Structure 1
């Protein structure tokens, strides 16, 4: 059970596997006003940057769950680097079935709502680990501009324009699920650039170092088209944000 190797190659240099930079991640942590000792569960935690930096900056205690052995190795190394290994733990497993042993103050799925087959299922999963009055963090794309054709939809990694909603409807959907949106931090075009453009450098370095690898042709073809696709489509049409929810 692991992520495809192409994914870990593409994001091998990333600490944050979403279009957030460290400043936006810090802004989100400050906005939550968490007390020291607050317990956080992060499903599909990637390389654990949220848990590790918030353990350092806000003294939270946390558990991260992810399917990628590569990213979890990076998470454990980061915890050691920041001196928070006694405050966080990382579990290799399928986040779609993970429920905390005891209720947590914050339950998060930041950018991986496929673990619940979409937003409603992910919210339902997070609720299973959350204490009454606790907060959920959901990271989700939305349409900055409504796509005009199917080519734009697919270039934004969607199969249908209905896969995402405009921002107002995204917020309204959380209300329809019985939750108040109490905070949000949104990506901008610069943070999208930092996330996506870093993938191109990772790919190019890997291609130069691995000319005989079986993935070389596939990833070479990806790098041929990815920069133009990003600036033509994703950068203009696709937004992304973390929405903070408390059940009504």
Structure 2
């Protein structure tokens, strides 16, 4: 069980597998007023940077689940590097359908809502692990500006314009699912650059070391096309953010 090898290659040098910086992760943790002992579940935890740095900085404890064997191994090493391996654990497994044995204070899925068929299904899955009064974190793309054509949407690696919403509509959609948005931290274009552009040097170095690999032609094709694609499409049209949600309180009518 693993993610496609091309993604392991392209993001092998990443600590954060989304257009988010360490500073944005810290901002999110501070905004949530995390306290020592806060229990966190992270589905699609990647290389574990969120759990590891929050364990170091805020004293959280928790579990990360990810399908990539490489990223899970990197997460375990990161926990050891930051001396928080007694606070967090990482499981190499399919996060789809994963429910924590013990209810958590924060249930997160940042950039992997495909694990439950989209945003609504992922929120429903996370809610199964959440204690009463807990917070769900969902990381999701949105349109910074609506693409004028379907071809431009595909240039952003969407299958169609309808794949994503503009920000106000995305925020409103959480309400329709019965949740209040209680915080959000959004990526900017520089954050997208750090996520996307960081892949290019990684894959160039990989090509130098692995010119005869069966994936080398595909990797070279990515290196040739991705900088222009990102500059023309993703950077201009696609946003990304983490949204903190709590189940809506339905007040009794007087």
The whole-number CA distance in structure 1 between the counterparts of 2:226 and 2:157 is 12
1:144-180: CA deviations, max 9, x gaps? 0101112211111111111100000000000000000
Secondary structure of 2:182's aligned partner? strand
Q: Which residue of 2 aligns with 1:91?
A: 91
Equivalent residue for 1:133? 133
CA deviations 1:86-139 (Å, max 9, x no partner) are: 000011111011000011000000010001110000000000000011000000
Cross-structure match for 2:27:
27
TM-score (norm 1): 0.99
Q: Aligned to 1:95, what secondary structure does the other structure show?
A: coil
1:62 aligns with 2:62: yes
Runs of 4+ in structure 1 displaced over 3 angstroms? none
Q: Does 1:153 align with 2:185?
A: no
Alignment partner, residue 11 of structure 1: 11
Give 1:54 deviation, angstroms. Answer: 0.1
In 2, Cα distance between the equivalents of 1:154 and 1:204? 25
Residues 60-80 of structure 1, C-alpha deviation per residue, up to 9 Å, x if partnerless? 001000001100000000000
**Partners in 2 of 1:4 and 1:118 — Cα distance?**
20
SS state of the match for residue 96, structure 2? helix
Separation in 1 of the partners of 2:52 and 2:107?
15
Q: Distance in 1 between matches of 2:6 and 2:247?
A: 38
Counterpart in the other structure of 1:117: 117
Pair 1:182 & 2:178 matched = no
Q: In the alignment, which residue of structure 1 is the partner of 2:228?
A: 228
What is the Cα deviation at residue 195 of structure 1? Answer: 0.5
**Separation in structure 2 between the aligned mates of residue 148 and residue 58 of structure 1, nearest angstrom:** 43
Cross-structure match for 2:238: 238
Unaligned runs of 5+ in 2: 249-254
Q: Which residue of 2 aligns with 1:203?
A: 203
Matched, 1:41 2:38: no
Query: Who is 2:53 aligned against?
Result: 53
1: CA distance, partners of 2:134 / 2:73: 29
1:96 counterpart SS class: coil
The alignment's TM-score, normalised by the length of structure 2, stands at: 0.97
Question: Aligned with 2:241: secondary structure?
Answer: strand
- Structure 1: which 5+ runs fail to align? none
Cα shift at 1:5 = 1.0
The corresponding residue for 1:103 is: 103
SS in 2 for 1:242: strand
Q: Secondary structure at the match of 1:97?
A: coil
Q: Report the aligned-residue RMSD.
A: 0.6
For residue 200 of structure 1, report the CA deviation from its aligned partner.
Answer: 0.7
